[in-house]
Each structure stands twice: as structure tokens, then as C-alpha cells.
Amino acid sequence: MKKSLFLLLIAAVSALGGLLFGYDTGVINGAQFYLTEYFHLSDALKGWVVGSALLGCFVGAIIAGPLSIKIGRKKSLIISAVFFTLSAYGSGLPELLPQTVSMLVVFRIIGGLGIGVASMNAPMYIAEIAPSNIRGRMVTYYQLAIVIGFFVVFLATYFIGSDLSVAENIEFGWRRMFWSELIPSILFLVLLFIVPKSPRWLALKGRDKDALEVLQKINGGDIATKEMANIKASLNEANDGVEVSYFSKAILGIIAIGTALSILQQFTGINAVLYYGADIFEKALGFGKEDVLLQQILLAFVNLVFTFVAMFTVDKFGRKPLLYIGSVGMVIGFLLLGITLQQQNVGMLSLIGVLVFIASFALSMGPVVWVLLSEMFPNKIRSVAMSVAVAAQWAANYVVSQSFPIVMGSETNNSAPWNGSLPYYIFIAFILIIVFVTYKFLPETKGKSLEEIEGFWKK
């Protein structure tokens, strides 16, 4: 029980980075209407304020790899917590201080840096700590935390906004929405000081005694000794006579597969649905503006429920079966939405399509990609490889979030035979590519140690 509680504490603390990922991404959606009025933003400037955090996310993911190698996973997460805290306070600077659009963008980019660093280090840290038989479930806590962050921030911004008049929200309500993030960010920062360093990072730095102590707390004596021997063998083999070359065919191949998987997660269209969910409901499904909160909460609730499903099945069924099941579900969901749009018969079937897509993503590509990225790379290259894959994911996120409204508003999409359905058929094509990549290139990693997974790439 003691070991289980220790592991749960580690997973919960590091997964708080995921909650802040979701919270920081979602808080701008609740605050953007009021701060747009406060600053009298044009559409272009509004898009820059809302999307500026993605720039920070991309840069944060790039620097996360070298940072993680130099100072470790734990200290990298502490830095991300500082970024989150600075961003939350600075984005809602008090009325007495000279808050400007430029200052707001700077603090949003700082928050993005926090997301970028945490999105690489948190799942990797959990994977390097967790026993192989429950590693999938523990890494899934990270995705669960992201989804909870989205859900909580929608509720928080609603309750903050509902207690104030529209004029009060425009004047200072949006500041309180940003400040509400201070609670989880400070909690994350404080709790990080009580979790251990990654045993695999300690071993990488030659601190074998410290690494063994952490493994013993998690696994007990005999298992810890065996796992430590496997870690050392992996690192020694990587160092046998040659430096690791990131441009070798084998290493490039592994990084390319992980990066492709990471990019494809975004090309499913998930963030188009989450970022522009209100527009989809209003324009495609005919819902009114007054139902925006209910629609967002409905999406977040379905996302949350099926992330729980993934958490309890990823170590039972395996990673690849969940990807196959989820891909089929995502295709069915978008087909329902696409066909009803084409036939101009939008209604309950369209709504079911959106929810089926969200549910299918939540039990497959959402959590499983984070699990695979955190465990598929060899010990020696894990930090750099995952940094590349996560940076590519943020770049793909930006491409989708910028191109989706353009495709949605195009003349081709809004005329026969598409009638507004074209983006969803494009997403279906990418989902089919996921099935191919999963079948052709991905190993099944269920129940295997990180060192056993490393051996797969040598076959």
C-alpha cells in the first residue's frame, strides 16, 4: 500500500502539469470576449492574443529536451510551474498597473513556455518512474489531467463571470479568470519539491546509488536491482565505442515514427473541435449563442468520461488495440457529421457524430499517444527525441487551428457537394493514415519495461 500511495503521489503531482496545460489553454476561451472589449481588439489582434501561447508552447517543447538532459525532469517541471504562475498573475495584472495588449501577449507566451516544457517532461517523468505493468495507466493520468483542466476552467470562468455584470467582467472579471490559475500553479510548484528525481535520469548522470534508492521505493529490493541492471546495460550499450548519432538511420527512423504519431494526433481534428466547438455547434448544428457554455461542458464531459475508460483499459487491452478501436470510432463520428452536413439534414445525428468522435479520441489518440511517446524512445535519446516529437505536435496544432477556419469559410466547402463537410473528410483521411502507421510501424509496448521496448528497435 505504501508503494502504491507513493506512486499515486508522484503521478498526481506530475499530472498537475497536464491540468495546467488544459487550464491555461482553456482560460483564454473564457476570458477572450471580455478582454477583447476591454482592449477594443480587432479580429487580427484578437487572434494573436488568443494564439500567442502556441508560440511559447513550440519554443518550450524545443528547449525542454536539452533542459531535461541538463537539469533533469523534476527541475524542468519546477521551471514550468514558475512559468505557469508568472503567466497567471501577469495576464491579469491589476488595474493600477499598466496592462497593455503587448504585456498580455508576453505573459501568454510565458504560459505557453510552461505548457511546452511540461508537455514533454511530465509524461516522460511518469513513464521513467512507473512499473511496467501499470505504466500505461499512470501516463494516462497526464491526459486525464489535461481533460480535467479543460472541464474545470470552463466551470471556473462561468462562475466568475456569472457573479459579475457584463461591464464588471469587461473591466476586471477577465483578470480574475486568469488569476484563478494561480491556485493549481502554486500547488504544482510546491508539491514538485517532494517528488523524487527520475531514476533513469539519475543513472544517465552516473548517480547509480540515488537511482537505485528511488527504484527500491517504487518496486522493492529484488525488482529494483534487476531493473537497475537493465537500465545500466541499456546505457552501457549505447556508450559502447560510439557516440549516439541522431542522424543515423536507426535513430532518425525511431524519431520520425514518434514525430509522425505526434503530428497525426493533431491532424485528427481534435483541437479544431475543442477550439472552435462553439462555432461548429452554432453554424453547423444550428445551436444558439446562449447554449455555448452547455455545449463546451458537454464536450468536456464526454472527453473526461472516455479518458477514464482509456486509463483502465490501456494496460489491459494494449496500446495498438485502443488506437484501432478509437480510429474506427473517430471515422464513424466524422462520417455522421459529414454526411448530415452534405445532405443539409443537420440535427441530433450530427451532434451524436461530434460526441462519438470526441469519445473515440479520448479513449485512443488522446492518452495513448502520450503513453507511446513517453516509452518508445531509447533511454539515451529519450529527452531529445520526445522534445522533437512534442515540438512537432505544437506546430501541427498551430497549422490545424489556423487552417480550420479558413477551410470552413472557403467557397469550395460551402457549396455543393460539400455543404460545410470538407474539413471532416480531410480529417478522416488522416485518421486512416493513423491506422496504417499503427499497423506498420508501432510495437505493442503493453507490460514491457522501457529497456525491453528499446530492444524492439534493434530487431
**How does pLDDT run across 49-59, given as a tens digit for each residue?**
877 888 899 99
Please report the pLDDT score of residue 151 as a whole number: 83
Contact call for residues 17 and 145 (beta carbons, < 8 A): yes
Which residues, given as ranges, of the chain have pLDDT below 70?
1-2, 95-98, 237-247, 275-296, 458-459
Assign residue 70 the CATH number of its domain.
1.20.1250.20
- Could you tell me the three cell numbers for 329? 470510432
Q: Are residues 330 and 384 in the same domain?
A: yes
Distance, in Å, from the CA atom of 307 to the CA atom of 364, rounded to the nearest integer, reads 8
Q: Are residues 178 and 225 in the same domain?
A: no
Burial of 1 (0-12, 13-18, 19+ CB in 10 A): exposed
| Residue where a domain terminates, one of 195, 221, 255 | 195
Q: Are residues 44 and 161 in the same domain?
A: yes
Q: Are residues 177 and 249 in the same domain?
A: no
Distance, in Å, from the CA atom of 196 to the CA atom of 191, rounded to the nearest integer, reads 11
3-state helix, strand, coil in the chain (%, to 5): 80, 0, 20
Report the predicted TM-score, pTM, of the whole model to 2 decimal places.
Answer: 0.82
Range of the domain at 259: 245-459
Please report the pLDDT score of residue 242 as a whole number: 46
Q: Are residues 250 and 231 in the same domain?
A: no
Q: Are residues 440 and 421 in the same domain?
A: yes
User: Between the CA of residue 43 and those of 18, 37, 39, 40, 167, what are the distances in Å?
Assistant: 30, 11, 12, 10, 21
Q: Are residues 321 and 394 in the same domain?
A: yes
Please report the pLDDT score of residue 42 as a whole number: 81
Distance, in Å, from the CA atom of 426 to the CA atom of 18, rounded to the nearest integer, reads 29
**How many domains would you assign to the chain?**
3
Q: Which one, of 98, 123, 166, lies nearest residue 16 by Cα?
A: 123
Give the helix ranges, DSSP H, for 270-381: 270-275, 277-279, 292-317, 319-342, 348-362, 365-375
Element holding 76 (H helix, E strand): helix 73-91
Q: Are residues 298 and 407 in the same domain?
A: yes
